[in-house]
A and B are shown apart, each in its own frame.
Chain A
Amino acid sequence: MTHWLIAPVVLPAMLAPFIVLAARFHIGIQRVFSIVGVLTLIAIAGGLAWAASDGTVLLYQLGDWAAPFGIVLVGDKLSTIMVLLTAVLALFVLIYAISSGWDDRGWHFHALFQFQLMGILGAFLTGDLFNLFVFFEVLLIASYGLMIHAGGNERLRAGVQYVLFNLIGSTLFLFALGAIYAETGTLNMADLANRVDLIDAGETVGIRVAAVLLLLVFAIKAALVPLHFWLPSSYAEAPAPVAALFAIMTKVGAYAIIRVYTLIFPTDLSVTSGLHDVWLLPAALLSLAIGMVGVLAAKRLDRLVAFSIIGSMGMVMVSIALFSPEGIAAALYYIVHSTLAGAVLFLVADLVRTGRADLNLTPQPPVAGATITAGLFFISAIAMCGLPPLSGFLGKLLVLDAAYGTDLMVWTWVVVLGSSLISIVGFARAGSVLFWKAQSIAPPQDAVPKAPPATMSFVAAGGLITLLAAHTVFAGQVHSYTTAIAAQLFEPAPYISTVVDTPGKLSEPTEGH
């Protein structure tokens, strides 16, 4: 019996209360524990990804109860790679949070950060829908705490909207869970996959509504238009490292959609046909368009970045909505890219903020360290617009390629390419004003030069860019792995049998299921 699969949940879950209990007055100790925790997490996540890479489905039965009666954690290729991505992102975000001093501007940053990680990682690992709800709650409440970290009127206002909208999502989640349980009598995902097959074709409304409600829950998390309204102001107002960490939070929604709608409600399931297989793609295209138009419309850099996150999620969802192995493979490649690119953009926006009065897109005198910041902005903007040579371009090619020959191919291509152009114009305008036009403004005579950001802040942002570069250079390997993930998702039989057929405490020995 090994316990590695639960370690990504238990480690931060124990670290956080420990920090609260023993180190809440000592920021130095908190930092050490936080960093060491995340480093350990990376090592564990790497090991798990390695263990799952040969197609093994890792199973962990909480309390020794067999599914579907107890809760199980399941580590397949998809969930372990998402765990690894989260852990790696967390490290750079944490470095930035520490070097920029954000973590010391309010209370309990590190405890909340660890709880946040616990929520995200648990959501990736769980094999039970109700447990997923619990982890959604954990990550929601922790993210709310992180979002309003350090306070301020604007931030609190945005935070209230954030938490309220997501509470609507949580309520909806309960509705959906109730509906699913009423319809199938189970909450375990693998068991659900078996049971929805039993539903009679003459009695489909129940499961159809349940499938749609659940999709909407995840769509809220993934900021899919028209359920995206919570995102722009909350991401813009959140402290930069928090917003950077949030880059993975929208991916939780995307992950859940991939998981549930390949495993439980695949597109070839007749009782739920004509729903997500038809309507998700238009919504995703709309998100992509709205997001990138928002980039052009934004009057502040942080809002601009927030809208680009919506657009980027739209791109991910476009690819997922194809519900084909190629589409999912492309989506997963793009998810990694979008997470890193979104995170680095928020960090860069914060670097821009250092030394400026605000983030309004108006020319202001250049500040110390602006050259490096400008370079970082240029590179991360390239990444977000999906221009070569970074992985966004490759991701875009993959998505376009996956959409080739589908019914909505023309629409998909037009929106994907058109929104790219809009985002290029938007980012070029912003960068031109922030970094170039600034050169023509003389600093006021009595201006006290502000200190440039800490070196480690640049290192954190640069580190994420290095990861983006690696994601590009090793695109072949990464993509072949995401293709393998997609293949595993479209062949769910081993997953289901591992979860359902592994006996636990008091299980009756049965032949088959």
Chain B
Amino acid sequence: MSLFFIVALPFFGALLPGLMNSAGRSACAGVTFTITLAAFVGLLTNLPAIIAGDIVMARVDWMPALGLNFTLMLDGLGFFFALLILGIGLLIIAYARQYLSRNDHMGEFFTYLLLFQGAMVGIVLSDNILLLLIFWELTSLSSFLLIGYWKHLPEGRQGARMALTVTGMGGLAMIAGMLILGQIAGSYDLSVILQNRELIQADPLYLPALILILLGCFTKSAQFPFHFWLPHAMAAPTPVSAYLHSATMVKAGIFLMARMWPVLSGTPEWFVIVTTAGLVTMVLGAVIALFKHDLKALLAFSTVSHLGLITMLLGTGTAFGAMAAVFHILNHATFKAALFMSAGIIDHEAHTRDIRRLGGLRTLMPVTFVIVCLAALSMAGIPLLNGFLSKEMMLEEANHTKLFGSPWLVPVLATVGSLFSAAYSFRLIGHVFLGPVRDDYPAKPHDPGAGLWLPPALLIVPVIVIGVAPFVAEPFVKLVTAAVLGTAADLPSAHLKIWHGLVPALYMSIIAVVGGLGMLAIFNPALRLWENARRPEAKVIFEWLVESSARLAQLLILPLHNGSFSRYAAIGTIAIVIAGYYAWATGTIGAPTYAMQTADPVLISGWCMLVAATLGMVFLHRNRFLSLILIGIVGLMVSIGFVFLSAPDLAMTQFTVEVVTIILMLLALNFLPNRTPIESSVLRRTRDAGVATAGGLASFALAYHYLLRDPVGAPISEFHLANSYKGGGGTNVVNVILVDFRGFDTFGEIIVLSIAALLIYALTETLLDGPVRARLLNRTPDQPRAGDRHPMMMVVLTRGMMPVVMMVGFYIFLSGHNEPGGGFIAGLIVSIGVVMQYMASGFAWTSARLKYPYHGVIGAGVLVAGFTGIGSWFVDKPFLTSDFTYVRIPPFEKFELATAALFDVGVFLSVVGAVMLSLESFSRLARRAETPESLHPMDIDPSRTDPPDVQMKPEGS
């Protein structure tokens, strides 16, 4: 079967159990089993090629530019691990079917399990190390889901997060390591990397790459000092522990070290780091395991210890060490998975995993006893079982290893590790199964059905077969070892056998077993000693670490993002000023091209008024009405400035905008208190003053600099000046720029205006629907209202003004193209005319006489402008291309007809609609507050016969 299928099957198959959950538990398990079996058989079909020494490859390009391709490779090593993953997977699936209870969502479980399985198979079959990284992180994610499967258990949640964090961290480090490795080798394909041992080891980046990759391996394989997450991952359901945390996932780190062995090993750095970490892990794990009372915790730490053993063997960098490592991986996988499943059986039957509450199960659970006995003895290194053989090889290798210049260090520590390993194995048998039968088990234990005990029993078969007849496994072990070694070393000639003669390893083995029995004999005093000792508690430390980093993060982030806008603006402004100043300070300044002009007294007085008004604003802004007046002065001075700079259009626009804005703001002021309260401290205001001054000075410096200098080329405005009449048909350049040269900008700006109006409308509507409505209804004005709100004088005057204003607007609109004016100004003027009617006679009266809703006016305005633009498409010209012609209708003089005028109509309509809609929205708020509204044009009307419907006296009194 193609390698793609073997990897893809579990992933695509993962959909099935989730979908089939309601079809029943057996259906779920069955379909999962079938998928795994299919992948397993597919793997076996590649066996002949592997035996023949071939490497099976499959390749699809994915991101060739990056060097990330979907390249798979199957050699002896990959085959070995894939076999473990899928083979043990089959047993686990069968076991889990029985193990999970009715309350557990089985489809979810098997979906996660298959995802995990696919990721694992992906790791061991990857030829591309970036692809391997992807699968690597996927195992972290799927194991996160599996560990946290029992969501209601806090241990599960914490364990899942701890595992994800630690292995995730290692994975991230490994990304860096792999990238460096690939950059050195020039390819991310293992087949290339493995050929470049000398190149890689000679590179200065070899050491960082090695450390980063090892970080990934050590975290995944729970090597010291990252061993702490594994026991907490045991909160997962037992099938998960058995599968992930003994047989497969934790071996991923080991696998990678084996995979990379030809290129990374053999250097002093590799030797020191890997061997030391392995050795420490082996001893530490074994010691901790002995004193654990939870069966699964004991097994977890024993796994840590055995992984350390394998790591140490890989670290020595010799071919024999590698072979011993391979052999031990095989042996450990068999007996440890069997032990985990047995622990699950005990938990399942006795309802406890606490060794102190167990004992005497030998007679109650004879089948389980036999399985555990054989597996544990193998773990302890008793002859005729497979654990003995690989442990002997390990001790032999240890005997030849010299670390930190001492020939004793490794052998002694290896023996100590083996001693504790034997001790906890014996404790497992002794304290759980031997001893008297108790009567206080939480549940009455008995052997389970074959569905639960058969999977571990099947695993015991290779434990015994290999133990008795190691030559059976030898060809396979050598095949795998050859794959590990690659071209870096020759296959060792040593054979797997039980009896090697009276070698030191045998004595060390005997010391370990005897010492282990002795240790068990003094277990109780030793336990007391252990429990009195102060030890760091990984879970507490980890939780503390996470929580305190979260708190630190909050300390760092929350005060900074506390919602204080003035602070945000201050930081932003300072950053802008500093950045601008830096750019300035690092540049060069040439001489100005203009001389300073002298200012005449009129200009200076205008400038003084501007400054005075602005300063007045700063000090008097708490009085809102006053500040409005001051804003008016500023606006007026700016308009006059435009006049001085020969821009009458801008001046007119600015002027009318000022009028409209002030009216709108006056309306808004109606709902606000007269004064702004002081809410900030003097210190804060001093800071703000400083920031504002810095910003102001920076703006001044910039303006001063640019005003005295010419641009590098002729500015585009020269073209506009030259072509305004010829190309745009108008002598008012500003208007031609607005409606023709840059009409698209204007189109955008009228849309901005329209959106603003729609927004104000939407906002007031939402406000009126919300709690504000009640507040408005209950509002009593803080100042006396005018008794005569719609005075006759005003009404008469505004009515009279209306046609005049309309006429002015019309004139301004028409004259726009050649004289100052245009649609924008005309729109504002007409709006002012209408606003006057609102002010004079009130909202209700005016609205009742309104034919066109302002929404429609806005929409129509933008549409007219847009359609004018689109119109040019019909003569095959781009959007907004203008054309004009001159016509003469007697008795008038010749006048110009320009498409731009139509566009200007759109501008006009949008402006009128937008201003009026905003005004209307404010008025709606006012109406809520001050009912009833008069439907008459004025309150005191001599022609009216009905009595005035508004109270004459001020409401406040």
Contacts and interface: CB of A to CB of B under 8 A. Distances in A.
Given A71-B745, A183-B706, A195-B713, A13 B561 contact: no
B741 A165 contact: no
The size bracket of the interface on B is 35 or more
Interface in A71-88: 71
B879 A226 contact: no
A237 to B, nearest CB: 11
Interface centre among A3, A122, A426 (most CB of B within 10 A): A3
A185 B866 contact: no
Nearest to A14: B866
Given A69-B741, A397-B179, A480-B65, A107 B765 contact: yes
A421 B563 contact: no
A62 B758 contact: no
A297 B553 contact: yes
Interface string A377-402: 01000100001110001101110110
B863 A18 contact: yes
B101 interface: no
Given A21-B856, A185-B713, A216-B579, A144 B168 contact: no
Interface in A138-156: 138, 141-142, 144-145, 148-152, 156
B584 A439 contact: no
Given A16-B862, A475-B63, A144 B151 contact: no
Contact of B550 (A20, A122, A296, A476): A296
Nearest to B761: A107
B754 A425 contact: no
Nearest to A137: B752
Contact of A389 (B138, B183, B580, B859): B138
B228 interface: no
Nearest to B575: A226
Contacts of B579: 212, 215-216, 279
Interface string B159-171: 0110011001100
Interface in A89-140: 106-108, 111-112, 115, 118, 122, 130-131, 134-135, 137-138
Given A209-B584, A393-B134, A150 B766 contact: yes
A181 interface: yes
Nearest to A441: B152
Contact of B859 (A18, A62, A165, A274): A18
Given A205-B587, A212-B582, A182 B565 contact: no
Contact of A63 (B709, B762, B879): B879
Contacts of A480: 64-65
Interface centre among A179, A187, A188, A229 (most CB of B within 10 A): A229
A506 B674 CA distance: 57
A401 B66 contact: yes
Contact of B699 (A62, A175, A186, A279): A175
A39 interface: no
A511 interface: no
Tell me if A's interface is mostly helix, strand, loop or mixed: helix
Interface stretch (B315-323, B614-622, B870-878): B870-878
A378 B145 CA distance: 10
A82 B179 CA distance: 30
A315 B130 CA distance: 20
A255 to B, nearest CB: 18
Nearest to A203: B590
B563 A131 contact: no
Interface in B828-855: 855
B634 to A, nearest CB: 15
B741 A17 contact: no
Contacts of A389: 134, 138
Interface stretch (A244-252, A350-358, A429-437): A429-437
A68 B716 contact: yes
A6 interface: yes
A24 B855 contact: yes
A505 B762 CA distance: 42
B758 A134 contact: no
Contacts of A107: 758, 761-762, 765-766
A440 to B, nearest CB: 4
B744 A63 contact: yes
The size bracket of the interface on A is 35 or more
B706 A144 contact: no
B735 to A, nearest CB: 14
A388 B745 contact: no
B949 to A, nearest CB: 31
Contacts of A319: none
A315 to B, nearest CB: 14
B557 interface: yes
Interface string B858-900: 1111110011011011001111111000000000000000000
Interface of A: 1, 3, 6, 10, 13-14, 16-22, 24, 60-65, 68-71, 106-108, 111-112, 115, 118, 122, 130-131, 134-135, 137-138, 141-142, 144-145, 148-152, 156-157, 160-161, 164-165, 168, 172, 175, 178-179, 181-188, 195, 198-206, 208-209, 211-213, 215-216, 220, 226-227, 229-230, 232-233, 271, 274-275, 279, 290, 293-294, 296-299, 307, 329, 378, 382, 387-389, 393-394, 396-398, 400-401, 404-405, 413, 417-418, 420-422, 424-426, 428-429, 432, 435-437, 439-440, 475-476, 479-480, 483, 505-506
Interface of B: 61-66, 68, 130, 133-135, 137-138, 140-141, 144-145, 148, 151-152, 154, 156-157, 160-161, 164-165, 168-169, 172-173, 175-176, 179, 183, 546, 549-550, 553-554, 556-558, 561, 563, 565, 567-569, 571-573, 575-576, 579-580, 582-584, 586-590, 699, 702, 705-707, 709, 711-717, 719-720, 723, 726-727, 740-745, 747-749, 751-752, 754-756, 758-759, 761-763, 765-767, 769-770, 855-856, 858-863, 866-867, 869-870, 872-873, 876-882
In the complex, the 5 A-B pairs of residues with the closest C-beta atoms, listed nearest first: A21-B859, A185-B715, A185-B711, A151-B766, A203-B590
6 contacts: A20-B758, A108-B762, A142-B755, A184-B712, A203-B709, A209-B587
Given A148-B763, A183-B711, A432-B161, 20 more contacts: A1-B878, A13-B751, A20-B855, A21-B856, A21-B860, A107-B766, A112-B758, A115-B751, A141-B756, A156-B763, A179-B706, A198-B713, A203-B590, A208-B586, A213-B576, A229-B571, A394-B66, A425-B550, A437-B151, A479-B63
